[in-house]
Each structure stands twice: as C-alpha cells, then as structure tokens.
Chain A
Amino acid sequence: MTTIYEELQEQANAELQKRHTHCVRVCMAAGCLSHHGDTIKKALEAEIEAQGCQDDVTIKGVGCMGLCAAGPLVSVEPEGILYEKVTVEDAADIVKSVGNKPLKRLQCATNVPFFKRQVKIVLENSGVVDPESLEDYILAGGYAALDKALTDMSPAEVIDEVVISGLRGRGGGGYPTGLKWSTVAKAISDTKYVICNADEGDPGAFMDRSVLESDPHRVIEGMAIAAYAVGAEQAYVYLRAEYPLAIQRLKMAIRQAKRSGLLGDNILGSGVNFNVDIRLGAGAFVCGEETALMASIEGKRGMPRPRPPYPADHGLWGEPTLINNVETFANVAPIIRNGGAWYAGIGTKESKGTKVFALAGQIKNTGLIEVPMGISLNEIVNEIGGGTPDGSQIKAIQTGGPSGGCIPNQYIETPVDYESLSELGSIMGSGGMIVMDSSSSMVEVARYFMEFCKTESCGKCIPCRVGTAQMYNLLDKIATGKATSADLELLEQLCDLVKNTSLCGLGQSAPNPVLSTLRYFREEYLTKIVDATDKQSGS
C-alpha cells in the first residue's frame, strides 16, 4: 500500500517528467522583484515562444538567490550559470545562449567566496525551488521530515533530535529550542498552540521575509513537526503586514498543503490534526516580543506583560504555547531528516548549525547569506561580503539591530556565536548586519537607533516610554554639539536605568547601541561635548 506521502511524491515526479532539459530560474524575491524581476520573467517566456524552444526550456520563478546587490538575478540550469543585473532587453540573448556558450557580458562569477564560503541549510531551497509550487518543494525532499516524524518517531523522539542538534532560537534570544519544546510538551492541557514569529522588525534585516518568500513550505513543515512534538493542533503565523509578497506566498502554500492533506484533519493519514492560520501584524515593532505578540493575536493592544508566567505555561488565551521564529522553524525539517547529530556537527561548541545574515550598509555584496556558526566577522564581511565598496577600512559592524551593538574593526577576527558577540556588548540578534565605514558618526548611529526605540516603545512602562525619549533628546544634544559633560553623565545613568528596569526586552536592550558606542567610540562623544561654565541655552 502506498502512503499519502508516496502518492504526493509520485505526483511531483509526474510533474518532473513534463519538464524540459533546461531551466531558466528568475529570482522573484522582493529585492529582484523591485528591479522588475517579474517583467524579465515575462520577457523570457515570450522569448522562448518567439524562438520556438518552449519544448526545451522551462522558465521558473524562484526565491532569493542571495546576492541582492547584483540583482535582478537569472540562472540557467543544469549548467549553473548565473547572470547579474539582467534587463528586459537581455531576454533574447539569454534564451539564445541556453545550451550554447554562456553570455559573457552578464555572467556573474560563482567561484567566489560569496558563494563558496556559504553553508546552506535554511536557504538550501532558496533560489532553487519555485516558492509557489508544492511539487517543487516535494521534489527537493520537502515534507519527508514530517512524514518521517509522523510515521517513525514518537513526539519524545522528535524533541530528542532537536535537543541533540543544539539548535537555539534564531529570533535573537538564543534560547535552546529543544528545551523550549520539551517544556511545552510537558505542560498539561487539552489545548496547546504553536506560534511562528514572523514579525521581523529590525532595520536592515530581511532574513525571515526572504525565507517566507522563497521557501514557505519549509516553515509550514517545521511548524507541523513542532506541533506534533508538543501536542498542539493549531498554529498561527504572526506575519507583519508590510510583507505582502511573503503573505501571498505563505497563503498559497497553506492552501496547497491543505488540499494535499498536509494540513487539516488526519494529516498524511497519521491521525494527527494540524492547522495553520495567518495573523497580520499592524506595524508595531514591539509585537515581535512574545507576550505582546500573543496579546495582539488575542485582539488586544500589543503590549508586553511581565514574565513569568512564560508562554510555555500560560500563553495564547492562557494555554501552553510554543513560540519560535521563522528561521528556527526552517531549521527543523533538515534536523529531522538528517538527524540532530548531523546538525550538531556544524558550528561551535555552544552555537550549533548555521545562521542567516542580511548584509547591509557600506559593503560590496549586500544580500542574504548563510554561514556556519563560529565563522569570523572578517570572513563574513571582507571575504563573503567583499569589504566596503570603495575598499576603505571598515570602522564598525552593527549586529542585532536596535537591541544590538557596534563592534569595532579591532575585533574583526571574533567568531560569530552567541557568547562571543554578547561579550563584546552586542548580540547575535535575528541576523541583521550593518557595515559602517569612516563616514559614519557613531553618535549619530546611536541617535538613529534610539529614535527607532523611542517611536516603537509601546508606552506601557515608564523607563522605556519616557527614558528612550529623554535619551534621544540627550543624544541629539550631543550630536548637535550643545551638550555638556553633565548631559553625558545623565545619558549614562539613563542607559543603566532603562536597561535594568524596563518591562520587556525592547526596553531592556534599547540602550545597547549607546552603551556599545560609548564603550568603543567614547572619544567621538567627548569631542562633541562643550564644557561651558554655565549650561547651554535651548531645550
């Protein structure tokens, strides 16, 4: 007897038979799409008609290929030729070149560190599968892990594999995922929930968006395995409304999965029920904080509450709830497929596996990369990232967004893992990495992030609500050369207060950009300080 999963594989294989010898992949993720990736795809389709090679060449829209700086990107398979900065006018030449000599003028080198130094687990399907096709995902081995978990493994065995893998929360906190799962599994309740936190809000970070746009089924599969492991039947993806393409693709993936018996009652004939619904965030950064996120799903104003009780015990509508972010869930299927020990073999002692980073700022190869934990900042920024566009020296690297810090160039050999980054006064965060050169004033960097925290504070607790506003004013005063050393002292006291007394992580980490720039670039603050005998005029 064939299982439901085997039937799905057969259908996918039948789909494969219809395909042609060559496939032209066009990046359809937000970056390339904003450079008219969709019209390029249409032009290519029209061109194969015109050149009469529709029986040899398939045009396929795929997710992010990583090197956003060189977009729009197009690749020709199976040769693996990558073309950069493609325009509609290039369509004819590209189609002509298929099966012949590569088009030299557009070719993008793929034997460079940007491609060679990456290790892709989360992004293994990005830029390869069509995010709008379930068959494509299944052909790439998709849902095999779910099938394996449901048929061959007990929930406890699933959790064991995740524990062995050493996977830690990729949303920023770095809490051990296996421990979180086992806590929720242990909670006694008829109803439990799984939540996927896709409220990615750090400026310059787009890891989760890209995963959802490029490989939405991967996230659904991870959530389904998690739900089976902890004993939940309902999941919510809390997705920010500013990601329309991710919403559209995830909605389509959920519909496809429901139709194929991968979601709904008795999934894959296992007797297990599992549903996923999307809840859209309305643009509040604080809703990425788990208790605020749950309040928002419940229809209340998105404001954090004190923890404990933790969501694992008292979560959505008071029920035990598992919350992980997009990238964490995207790691689950490969771990179950290949075993936790395989995953634990990548990375460092305390930080296992890989991490996706969004490279932005003064760097040549802006885009999305996935690297093994423990790689040095230098390798990421100078080798993979290609250094600054004009070749000048890097001044600092900002990680962790508004909750993180600036790491000066002198620590560029630091390995990227949770502990090393926090020792330097920054955090791993969700994966934003902004590179700054000598043109950046560190006081202004701190002021920028404080402005962000001030406007994104929910207003519930006083230290964060008023403290960030006062810190912003003091930073502005310093940046505009009106502050005295007494103001600097006030700023440092406020950093201490807000860090230690705020209600949630947003407030507690809001001073980090100030503290880290003060730690490494204090002289930049001091040169802007005026010390007059009397205090300055103006407010």
Chain B
Amino acid sequence: MARRSRIKTLKIDGRDVGAHEDQTILQLARENNITIPTLCHIEGLSVPGACRLCLVEVKGWRKLVPACATYADEGMEVFTDSERLRSYRRMILELLFSEGNHVCAVCVSNGHCELQSLAQHLGMDHVRYPNLQPVRLVDMTHSRFTLDRNRCILCLRCVRVCDEIEGAHTWDVKGRGVDARVISDLDTPWGESPTCTTCGKCVNVCPVGALVEKGRAVGEMVKRQEFLPYLSSMREVKR
C-alpha cells in the first residue's frame, strides 16, 4: 500500500510553506533554508526537546514550543527569530557556558564545536552569570576515547545513539540538577565497561569536546556524523 500523507499549509516567518503532516517545524524550516538553532537535536535520533534553543513562537499560542517536537499544522503562523527568542537563546547559551569548563582555547574541538559556533552566531559576547565551578571527573580509562564531563552540556546524544542505534545502552545519566552527569553502565570506569563496543558513535555525535578521541591536540578533533541518517534509516527499513 502506498504511504499517504496529508499536506498542510502554514507560514514560517511570513513565508508560505507546504508541509507533510508528519513533518516538524524544525524539519520544515531547514527544508526552506530558515535557520533555527539546535543543540540536543540530531537527525536520526529520538527527540528529547531538552536544550530549548529551538523554541519558536506560534501566533495565538500562549506558550513557546520546541520546533523539534512540534508538528506542522494547517494555518499555523510560526515566528523563529523574534528579539524575544534571540534574547532567550543567548541566555540559554550563557547558562550553559556558566555551568562548566568551556574554555575553547585549550579544547581539542576548538573550531569544530557546535556550542562555540552557536555562541558566535547568536551574538553571545560574554556570560553575565558567574561560573558555577563544578568539580567533575574526567574519564580517561578507555583505550581510544576520553570523556571530559567538564565540557559536557548534557544534550544526551551519546546516551541516545548508544541505546537507539548501537543497542548497547552503555551511557546513562546519574544525579540531579547541576550534579547530573553522564555515566557508563552503573558508574563504572568507561575502560572497564562490559557493554561498550568501542564503536565510537557517541564520540562522533557529541557536539562539543566532551567525548573525544585520544591523541588529538587543540582544534584537531573533527566529528563525523554522516553515518547517522544512514544507520537510522536502515533500522527503520528492517522493522
């Protein structure tokens, strides 16, 4: 049976666009070259709606909605770039920078970091909140990779890719609030993890310099994410 999908017509930033009913506002915006910033979202993995950077305004709706988790609907009028949204996005980035060690100058991901480039494009020129100075452990026990929790922004991409694509579920989260951190298995050192397959998917989806390959110097770590849409579409076919 041929798959059928209804078409919805709506407006994004004043432009008339047509969408499939199963398309999110984020997918639709990207299709139409409208940039909505994201951090936790990555095509091919489930949608946590956690980073709140992709929040957009919809005319007549009281609340802001995450573009990644909101589906296109008939007659919607979406605004992706108001002064209010820009200000919220900058504040969210400032909060992220205030939470850990995001010193770009000595980071292997310098120049290839999604957080860094968002800070630049959204015009976050300084952080108004004092740094929270958390003490977080670095895990270098794995033979090929390093986890620096001080650089982690808890986007949970590693947790999702390991669970949803690799099927290992090595990663999960421990603790609450600003003490929440990524752990392998039941908080055992990564190098001793009986479930990790050393596939490296978590490293490649990590948007920042938290999960990196060993032996890289500043600016040398370039992540390769091309595999993800391919693997996740193969997974859908198999079902």
Is B one of A's binding partners? yes
At the interface, yes or no: A140 with Cβ under 8 Å from chain B?
Answer: no
| A500 near B179: Cβ-Cβ < 8 Å | no
| A457 near B176: Cβ-Cβ < 8 Å | yes
Interface set, chain B 172-224, CB cutoff 8 A to A: 172-173, 175-180
Of B13-21, B117-125, B127-135, B142-150, the segment with at least 4 beta carbons within 8 Å of chain A is B127-135
| A466 near B52: Cβ-Cβ < 8 Å | no
Interface set, chain B 40-57, CB cutoff 8 A to A: 47-52, 55
Q: Count CB-based A-B contacts (< 8 Å).
A: 95
Chain A residues with CB below 8 A from B98, complex form: 466, 470
At the interface, yes or no: A270 with Cβ under 8 Å from chain B?
Answer: no
At the interface, yes or no: B36 with Cβ under 8 Å from chain A?
Answer: no
| B180 near A465: Cβ-Cβ < 8 Å | yes
| A459 near B179: Cβ-Cβ < 8 Å | yes
| B129 near A502: Cβ-Cβ < 8 Å | no
Interface residues of B, dominant DSSP:
loop
Which of A306, A458, A462, A465 contacts B69, CB < 8 Å?
A: A306
Question: How many chain A residues have a CB neighbour from B under 8 Å?
Answer: 32
Residue of A nearest to B53 (CB): A462
| A305 near B177: Cβ-Cβ < 8 Å | no
Interface residues of A, dominant DSSP:
helix
Nearest CB on A from B130, distance (A) = 6
| B88 near A459: Cβ-Cβ < 8 Å | no
Interface set, chain B 43-75, CB cutoff 8 A to A: 47-52, 55, 63-64, 66, 69
- Residue-wise, chain B 62-105 has the 8 Å CB interface mask toward A (1 for contact) of 01101001000000000000000000100110011011000000
| B173 near A463: Cβ-Cβ < 8 Å | no
Q: Whole-angstrom distance between the alpha carbons of A497 and B52 in the complex?
A: 11
Chain A residues with CB below 8 A from B113, complex form: none
Q: Whole-angstrom distance between the alpha carbons of A465 and B154 in the complex?
A: 10
Chain B residues with CB below 8 A from A459, complex form: 154, 173, 175-180
Chain B residues with CB below 8 A from A108, complex form: none
At the interface, yes or no: A455 with Cβ under 8 Å from chain B?
Answer: yes
At the interface, yes or no: A467 with Cβ under 8 Å from chain B?
Answer: yes
Chain A interface residues toward B at CB < 8 A: 284, 286, 301, 303, 305-306, 454-463, 465-470, 473, 490, 493-494, 497, 500-503, 539
* Contacts A/B (CB < 8 Å), 24 sampled: A306-B47, A306-B49, A306-B69, A456-B177, A459-B175, A459-B178, A459-B180, A460-B48, A462-B95, A463-B52, A465-B180, A466-B98, A466-B132, A467-B95, A468-B177, A469-B178, A473-B132, A494-B91, A497-B88, A497-B91, A500-B63, A503-B52, A539-B130, A539-B133
Chain B interface residues toward A at CB < 8 A: 47-52, 55, 63-64, 66, 69, 88, 91-92, 95-96, 98-99, 128-130, 132-133, 153-154, 156, 172-173, 175-180
